[in-house]
Amino acid sequence: MAENVAPSIPRRVVLQGLPQRLIQDGLVDEATMTQTLENLKESDTNLVSHLVSQGIADAKEIAIAASQEFGAPLLDLDAVQLDLDAVKLVSDKLLAKHRVLPLMKRGKRLFVAVSDPTNLHALDEIKFQTGLSIEAVVVEEDKLQKIANKTMEQVDTQMPALADDDLDLENLDVSGGDEDEAPTAAGRDDVEDAPIVRFVNKVLLDAIKRGASDIHFEPYEKSYRIRLRLDGFLKEIASPPVQLAVKLAARIKVMSRLDIAERRVPQDGRIKMRISKNRAIDFRVSTCPTLFGEKIVARILDPSSAMLGIDALGYEEAQRDLYLKTLAQPHGMILVTGPTGSGKTVSLYTGLNILNKEDTNISTAEDPAEINLPGVNQVNVNPKVGLTFASALRAFLRQDPDVIMVGEIRDLETAEIAIKAAQTGHLVLSTLHTNDAPKTLTRLIDMGVKPYAIATSVSLIIAQRLARRLCNNCKVPLEMPAEALLKEGFTQEEIDEGIQIYKPVGCSSCTDGYKGRTGLYQVMPVSEEIQRIILQDGNAVDIAAQSAKEGIWDLRKSGLAKVKAGITSLEEVNQCTVE
């Protein structure tokens, strides 16, 4: 007996969202929409693109319907001037994949043109890559594709030299500090996590392009922050999801050849990133456990900074001549002083680069060596195994040296050996942490060095600070009354001659009105009169007074000269120096 089989009734597709709106507005009939959605299940094409390309519906009418349905703003692309810098924030692959276009960046918000606002996956990926809050703006599909193609051509012609390396962010040539070690098994998943690899590589490359000195990766309880130190000031550039904190830390530690499993104690490592055949950048990496994860700071070590030449550092002509004259002496001591981040290392390396010749034996003891100089014998001190500054200096003195550089004089033993080397026919370069040149001499006395040893060994002291340079594209004149200029330290003579100072404004090519930095210097030779003051137990005030008599500019005077020349602002000099 045959069984009664109920006829198969096709299941009715429930339409909602944009498809339902298009049907309600009479732009597409229900049967066509149902068939279109069925066909698109096996396709990478989105609904709006298909409807427009097949001539099923008008692009403008779809955009109006989508804007009304989702409450998103509607924009006519023909009336908008695109911001190419905003377009560059998102990778070409992501833009091509999702058929969207960044329009402009306002603060921490990125406005993105979309023809289909239901494409939340695209917006989420852009948010992850840029670290910005994404605002969708509805536009017409046909205009979007036309302008997107034209814009990408413009971006390709304007990208800087490093952009070629940006194309394959997963396969950059990156190595750690110890080539003999390999990443541990614990880090394998993170190594293979392509989005994390691309994101970290992009942050490193962006930092290099923008001339940053440090990158800060900072986890907090409910957020994660990435900041760059640009011209001495920290600027937030990304805020990835806090859930990625562990993966980001693991990736950086893999690149640095650090122990991924160890999260309880600080670690130090190094990354070498080769960005072209002839250029490699080193990163000195430091991890530190915090309440909510490991904070990581990467110091960017660019060897080209030591090759700039002394003329690029901002020395006044008389100051430069004093430095070069002392470097040419066969013996004596040159001390560079200033706070952390004041450019002491670059000044020292610039001097070493000048001295680095075939007939000169140069040895350095550093903690650690920041820039690799071929032809210079560089030693990283390691107190754990007994390799201190003092022990390295003793070894250097048995190595037939001509020039010795000590990263920092921290204790009496190191100071005495360095001074002994300067007295016995060697040129010694080193640093101290003091506020100005006169206080450097009294600091050595406070450490226990005998006054006569200081007077007979120290030849030159350079105190320095770094001030931000005004952007030449947007700086504007600042009018100040003569009384205010006198109070700031300018002389009546200078005011009578005419002083034009400038203030920062800010534009697309700078950061808050500043671009790059220049040095402010006090270059003080230890003259016979200053030697006499030292031998008579004089203090820093006495030394400063004598230095001023000899025409040596202090840091303030050097800063005012930069203001007068329009190089920096009075506000910046006031931050860097004490009146």
- Most distant CA pair in the chain, distance: 127
Question: How many angstroms separate the CA atoms of 438 and 429, rounded?
Answer: 17
Dihedral sign of CA atoms 105, 106, 108, 113 in order: negative
Question: How many angstroms separate the CA atoms of 329 and 361, rounded?
Answer: 15
Question: How many angstroms separate the CA atoms of 27 and 477, rounded?
Answer: 58
Beta bridge partners of 301: 282
Question: How many angstroms separate the CA atoms of 456 and 435, rounded?
Answer: 23
- CA angle at 121 for the pair 115 and 126, rounded to the nearest 5°: 85
Question: How many angstroms separate the CA atoms of 469 and 516, rounded?
Answer: 5
Question: How many angstroms separate the CA atoms of 24 and 102, rounded?
Answer: 30
> Which residues 6+ apart lie within 8 Å of 370 measured at CB?
284, 299, 301, 345
DSSP letter, residue 195: H
Q: Which one, of 519, 423, 528, lies nearest residue 462 by Cα?
A: 519
The overall pTM is greater than 0.75: no
Cα 233 from chain centre = 10
Please say whether the beta carbons of 478 and 501 come within 8 A.
Answer: yes
Question: How many angstroms separate the CA atoms of 44 and 208, rounded?
Answer: 36
Count CB neighbours of 185 within 10 A.
Answer: 9
Q: Please spell the DSSP secondary structure of 284-345, one letter per residue.
A: EEEEEEETTEEEEEEEEE-GGGGGS-GGGTT--HHHHHHHHHHHTSSSEEEEEE-STTSSHH
The per-residue pLDDT for 325 is 94
The per-residue pLDDT for 189 is 43
Task: Fill in the amino acid letter for 518.
Answer: T
Radius of gyration of the chain (CA): 31
The per-residue pLDDT for 184 is 44
Instruction: Report the interhelical angle of 528-535 vs 437-447 (nearest 10°).
Output: 40
Please say whether the beta carbons of 257 and 272 come within 8 A.
Answer: no
The per-residue pLDDT for 182 is 42
Question: How many angstroms separate the CA atoms of 225 and 213, rounded?
Answer: 17
Instruction: Report the interhelical angle of 17-24 vs 30-40 (nearest 10°).
Output: 150
Task: Fill in the amino acid letter for 371.
Answer: I
Q: Which one, of 51, 142, 43, 129, lies nearest residue 88 by Cα?
A: 129
Q: Which one, of 479, 467, 478, lies nearest residue 567 by Cα?
A: 467
Low-confidence ranges of the chain (pLDDT < 50): 1-3, 5-11, 156-167, 178-192, 579
In the three-class reduction of DSSP (H, G, I as helix; E, B as strand; rest coil), residue 41 is classed as coil
pLDDT digits (tens, 9 = 90+) for 382-433: 888 889 888 999 999 999 999 999 988 988 999 999 999 999 889 999 999 8
Cα distances (Å, whole numbers) of residue 535 to 91, 333, 460, 461, 543 = 65, 17, 17, 17, 11
Phi, psi of 420, rounded to the nearest 5 degrees: -60, -40
With residues binned 3-state (H G I as helix, E B as strand, rest as coil), the percentages for the chain, rounded to 5, are 40, 25, 35
Beta bridge partners of 133: 109
Question: How many angstroms separate the CA atoms of 435 and 422, rounded?
Answer: 23
DSSP letter, residue 12: P
The per-residue pLDDT for 188 is 44
- CA angle at 461 for the pair 459 and 462, rounded to the nearest 5°: 140
pLDDT digits (tens, 9 = 90+) for 21-64: 888 888 888 888 888 787 777 666 778 877 887 788 888 888 88
DSSP letter, residue 568: S
In the three-class reduction of DSSP (H, G, I as helix; E, B as strand; rest coil), residue 537 is classed as coil
Please say whether the beta carbons of 65 and 18 come within 8 A.
Answer: yes
Q: Which one, of 571, 579, 570, lies nearest residue 500 by Cα?
A: 570
Question: How many angstroms separate the CA atoms of 50 and 539, rounded?
Answer: 83
In the three-class reduction of DSSP (H, G, I as helix; E, B as strand; rest coil), residue 382 is classed as strand
Dihedral sign of CA atoms 254, 256, 262, 264 in order: negative
E strand or H helix at 405 = strand 403-406
